[in-house]
Structure 1
Amino acid sequence: MLSLVEFFQDLGNPLLSFLPKALLVAVMSAVVCGVIGSHVVLRGMVFVGHAVAHSVFPGLAIAFVLQGSLVVGGMVAGVLTAVFVAVFSQNRRLKEDSVIGIFFVGAFALGIVVISGAPGYSGSLQNFLFGSITGIPDSNVYVVAGAGVAMLLLAFLFHKEIVAVSLDREMARSAGLPILALDILLYVMVAVSVVVSVQVIGNILVIALLVVPAATARLLTDRLGLMMVLAPAIGAVCAFVGLYLSWAVDIPTGGTIVLLATAVFVLTWVLAPRHGLLGKLLAQRSVADGEERAVREPVAA
């Protein structure tokens, strides 16, 4: 198995220039998804992230046919779908998940029709579904970096407003907040976060990078601000270690990162001090011991 020192040597090898690019994109994706994913977990909109992850397909397909940037094509499709979902969801006659399901399958079907007519689409479809660390061009690294910084900046600037809408929509509406605009903003941030992660981790598994680190952080703290620090940190560590293990053992990068993040979540679910299984059992035992002592003390007196 490749040692960690040898992995760092490979990162500096000019013949393996794709490897540091993959690491950079993986870590940037994990950081962006960790921050935006905190809002996704808080709001309980995991299905939205799943739908957006698939709705970028037609943009990627059109970009592939036109030989353009897959990242830009995916972003355009994801943003358009996010806007449509946000607008149509304002009609409370239909539940949000119904609207999401309609646009999700419609967008994915459009992508299938578009890419099926392109020669050699099978290999690109496989890269899209499962990720490809060897296929990240330099231009996409710059696009991912720019989009990531923009999403983090928007998340910081509109943090209070998005949280207010997530916690109580009616209260936020009565306070004069633009509910539709904030919904669109959050959906767009989810869409962009998904697109920047697709290249390394793949479309099938990308929702895990958006949700799992944030859910893990949720078990560790009750404070949203700290959660939005822990989630990207957990995701970045999993991305680095996952890429190292996949390179050392020659296993798929996306699957390795997701399995590692899932293992961290399971361990946290068991061992978290306050909200983990072990912590709750210890708290219950402490309460039971206190009640038992309270009963015994009067008897001893």
Structure 2
Amino acid sequence: MTDILTWLTEPLSHGFMSRALVATLISASVCALLSCWLVQIGWSLMGDAVSHAVFPGVVFAHMIGVPFALGAFIFGAGAVGLIGALQSRTTLKSDTTIGVVFTSLFALGIAVNSVFPSQVDLNHILFGNILGVGVNDLLLVAIVGFASGAVLLLKRRDLTLYAFDPVQAHTLGIRVRGLRILLLLILALVVVITLQTVGIILVVAMLIIPGATALLVSGRMSRILPIAVVSALVSSMVGVYAAYYLNASVGGVVVLTQAALFMLALVLGPRGGLLPNMLRSRRAAQTSRVPESGVLVGVN
């Protein structure tokens, strides 16, 4: 028993590990909430776009000496607006506009950083620097994370109706355009605060995997939301501890743990799992053969 307690408390005896765990839990939770609607609406690529589009904002912020979160949010929100304008004013499909915008902005960040190299190592923006989270960083993550989560929960009914049936939502008098803008702004905020924890590359996974995992377990949003959050919290706890004892990347291990839970849901999930679907198909085939065999017996 003493060994178990020592194993659990040793990482938390270090201040940087405690801050890393709290920041990861907050970031993963709000990403999980947001992922439920992103996956349902079909905006998974939007999270990818925003996470890459903020990179030039980070580069310019370091160049002029302002907080990188400010530059990241400006470029993230700008990317969302640009994608929306292209979708509404051209005949291009949404995935095409998303791909053009985020690759162009990401390339802009790389080009500017190569011409005007910063004294600050920007690799932690790409891959995360969770162990370097300070008290002020943690405070920012907590404020933005809890505020974003609160807004999502308060508007969950309208967002759910918009995700499943935007036409009916508009018919009922819900401002669909306003909900879209709200969701995209929260996405930009969440991406900015998650950069410090897992970085640009892995934040995409945190905005997709929890929602996809929950959708394999249930089809009701009242259950999808808690399932996604719980899976994110479990992945964060397991990932942080495993990374500490394996001396591995915290963000990478957290996402790998989320991927393992997704694979488990993919196999065993009652709604969309491979095994339950196979069993249902087998039962349906057996049921359809019973009347046929009965008729044959009667004829004989």
- Tell me the TM-score normalized by structure 2: 0.89
Q: Pairwise mapping of residues 40-51 of structure 1 onto structure 2 (< 5 A)?
A: 40-51=38-49
CA displacement at 1:102 relative to structure 2: 3.2
Q: CA deviation at 1:207?
A: 0.6
> Post-superposition shift, 1:38?
0.4
Q: Which moved more, 1:259-268 or 1:103-112?
A: 103-112
Cross-structure match for 1:91:
89
CA distance in structure 1 between the partners assigned to 2:102 and 2:4 by the alignment = 41
**Structure 1 residue 171: deviation in Å?**
4.1
CA deviation digits over 1:151-203, x for unaligned, max 9? 11221232233333333444444444433322221111222222222222221
Closer, same or farther in 2 for the Cα pair 1:140/1:273, shift >3 Å? Answer: same
Matched residue, 2:163: 166
Letter in 1 for 2:31: C
The whole-number CA distance in structure 2 between the counterparts of 1:78 and 1:279 is: 40
**Equivalent in the alignment of 2:31:** 33
**d(CA) in 2 for partners of 1:4 and 1:138?**
28
**What is residue 60 of structure 2 aligned with on the other side?**
62
Cα distance in 2 for residues equivalent to 1:103 and 1:274: 35
Quick one: which amino acid aligns to residue 119 of structure 2? G
For 1:35 and 1:231, the matched residues in 2 are separated by: 7
* Range moving further from structure 2, 127-136 or 202-211: 127-136
Q: List runs of 5+ in structure 1 lacking aligned partners.
A: none
Q: 1:147, CA displacement in angstroms? A: 0.8
Name the TM-score, length of structure 1 as normaliser.
Answer: 0.88
In structure 1, distance between residues paired with 2:81 and 2:10: 42
State the partner residue of 1:279: 276
Deviation by residue 1:121-174 (Cα, 9 ceiling, x = unmatched):
4xx222111111221121111111111112112212322333333334444444
C-alpha displacement of 1:205: 1.4
Please give the secondary structure, in 1, of the residue aligned with 2:91. coil
Aligned to 1:118: 117
Q: Secondary structure at the match of 1:134?
A: helix
Q: Does 1:226 align with 2:223?
A: yes
**1:186 equivalenced with 2:157 (yes/no):** no
Is 1:288–2:285 an aligned residue pair? yes
Separation in 2 of the partners of 1:263 and 1:213? 11
CA deviation digits over 1:257-287, x for unaligned, max 9?
1111111111211111232111011112222
Q: Which amino acid aligns with 1:31?
A: S
Does the residue aligned with 2:138 lie in a helix, a strand or coil?
A: helix
The Cα offsets for residues 189-248 of structure 1, whole Å up to 9 and x where unpaired, read as 222222222222221111111101110100000101211111111011111101111110
| Cα root mean square deviation, aligned | 2.3
The aligned counterpart of 2:105 is 107
Is 2:32–2:229's contact at 8 Å kept on the other side of the alignment?
Answer: yes
2:200 aligned partner, one-letter code = N
What count of residue pairs does the alignment treat as equivalent? 295
More deviation, 263-272/171-180: 171-180
Q: What is the letter of the counterpart of residue 208 of structure 2?
A: V
Decide which moves more: 49-58 or 286-295: 286-295
Q: Which residue is 1:258 aligned to?
A: 255
| DSSP-derived class of the 1:89 partner | helix
* SS at 1:204 equivalent: helix
Shift, 1:298, TM fit: 5.3
Give yes or no for the alignment of 1:10 onto 2:10: yes
Q: Quick check: 2:219–2:271 contact (8 Å CA) kept in 1?
A: no
SS in 2 for 1:202: helix
SS at match of 1:94: coil
Looking at structure 2, the residues matched to 109 and 285 of structure 1 have their Cα atoms a distance apart, in angstroms, of 51
Q: Check conservation: 1:30, 1:239, Cα contact below 8 A.
A: yes
Counterparts of 2:242 and 2:269, CA distance in 1? 26
1:174-253 maps to which residues of 2 (within 5 A)?
Answer: 174-253=171-250
Distance 1:220 1:101 in 2: 30
Letter in 1 for 2:51: A
Q: CA deviation at 1:300?
A: 5.9
